[in-house]
Structure 1
C-alpha cells in the first residue's frame, strides 16, 4: 500500500476503532503515552479519517473515527500478509498478524466491525427486553421460529452481556421464551459456543419467543 500512515497515526486509528467513541488527548496520554497533535492530527483530519475538535474548558483535542476511518481500518486488516508501516518492529508485525487473523474470523462469521467495536450503554431491563424482542422478530423467519443466540447477541452488542443473560433467563423461566441446546453439536461454531447461555446445567444455543 502506498502513502502509508505513520506509526502513531496507525496506532490512533486502531485505538479509536477499538474504543468506538470520542477519545481525548488526555486519555490517549494516560493510556498509551502519547497524544494526537500537530502534523499527525492534521494528516488524519485532512484525509477525513478522524474528526478532531477542541474540548472546553480544557482546550484539549478530542478525536473520533469517521466512517471513512473505519473503512481504512478494515482495509488495513485485510492484507493476506501483515504489512505494518516502516520501520517494522517485531511487535508491529505480531499486531498485524493478529489483526489479519481477527479479520478472517470476522468475515467467516459474517460480523460487521460496528457490531464488534461498540460502546456499552446503560440500559434498563425493560429496554433490553424490548431490544431482545425487536432483534428476534427481525431474525425469525416465522412465528416462534428458532433463532441462534449468536445472531441475536450480534444485534444487542450495546447491552452488557450479564444484563442480556438475566433477561433471557427470566423470559425462559416465565415461559415467554424457550432456550434449547443445538441438537447437532457438529454445527456449532466457536462463536456459537461463546454466545451460549447456561441454564439447567447445559449450554443453550437457540431461542424461540412466544407471540405477544
Structure 2
C-alpha cells in the first residue's frame, strides 16, 4: 500500500500518471510544479515503477512501467501523504471519487488516462509568453539564455509569429539578441531556432530588469 513510498515518490508517481506519456522534469515543473528528485527517482526505479533516460540538453525523461501504472492505481484508494498542502488533499479526494466511478463502471485506469494531458490553455500575449519563458529559464534578469529553450515553451505559437514579436521587442530594445560565440559547437536544434536579425543568426536572448 501507500506506506511503501515516500511522499515525493508518491507525488512523482501521480504526476507521471496524469501526464500519461514520456515526460521530463522541466515539463512536469511547468505543468504541475512537481520535480522528480534524485532520491524519488532512485526509489521508484528500485521498485521498477518507472523507466528513465537522459535526452537532449541532459534532461531526464520518465515513463511509468506496467508496475508503475498498477501502483498508481493504488493511490486512488490510499489516504493522502502526511503534511501535504490543501491542493493535494483535494486531489486525493478527487481520486477517491474516481475510484468509485471506475469500480461502478468496471473500468480500468487506462480508460481514464487514455490520452496525454494536453495541459491548460496558455494564457497571455505572445510577448508575455516570451517574457514568462525567459523568466522561468533564467536565474536572474540579464542572463544569456539559448533561444531554442524559449521556443521549446512556445510550441503552440507559429514560428513566424514568434519571430515577428521577437523582432518587435528587439527593435524596441526590450530584449537583446546575440549570436552564440560557440555556434560551431551548437546542436542542430539550437541552430534551427536562431532568428536572423540584420542578416546575422542570433541564438541567445537576454531580458534585463523591468
Q: TM-score, normalised by structure 1?
A: 0.50
SS of residue paired to 1:58: helix
SS of residue paired to 1:52: strand
* Structure 1, gaps ≥5 residues long: 121-212
Residue 2 of structure 1 deviates from its aligned partner by: 6.3
Aligned in 2, Cα 1:21/1:31: closer, same or farther, shift over 3 Å? same
* Alignment: residue pair count: 116
Say if 2:61 is the partner of 1:70: no
Whether contact under 8 Å (2:24, 2:59) holds in the other structure is yes
1:130-170 deviation digits (Å, cap 9, x = unpaired): xxxxxxxxxxxxxxxxxxxxxxxxxxxxxxxxxxxxxxxxx
| Equivalent residue, structure 1, for 2:115 | 119
SS of residue paired to 2:8: helix
1:12-56 deviation digits (Å, cap 9, x = unpaired): 21121122110111211222234213111111111111111111x
Q: TM-score, normalised by structure 2?
A: 0.50
Of residues 73, 84, 90, the one that matches 2:86 is 90
- Aligned-residue RMSD, C-alpha: 1.9
Residue 91 of structure 1 deviates from its aligned partner by: 2.9
Note the 1:5-16 alignment, pairs <5 A.
5-16=5-16
Whether contact under 8 Å (1:23, 1:64) holds in the other structure is yes
Whether contact under 8 Å (1:4, 1:85) holds in the other structure is no
| Equivalent residue, structure 1, for 2:43 | 43
- Distance in 2, matches of 1:90 and 1:31, equals 18
- Distance in 2, matches of 1:102 and 1:29, equals 25
Aligned in 2, Cα 1:115/1:9: closer, same or farther, shift over 3 Å? same
Whether contact under 8 Å (1:5, 1:85) holds in the other structure is no
- 62-71 vs 84-93, which moves further: 84-93
Note the 1:147-158 alignment, pairs <5 A.
none
| Equivalent residue, structure 1, for 2:163 | none
- 67-76 vs 33-42, which moves further: 33-42
- Distance in 1, matches of 2:20 and 2:35, equals 17
Residue 88 of structure 1 deviates from its aligned partner by: 4.2
- Distance in 2, matches of 1:99 and 1:2, equals 14
1:90-116 deviation digits (Å, cap 9, x = unpaired): 333222111011111011011111122
Say if 2:50 is the partner of 1:54: no
SS of residue paired to 1:119: coil
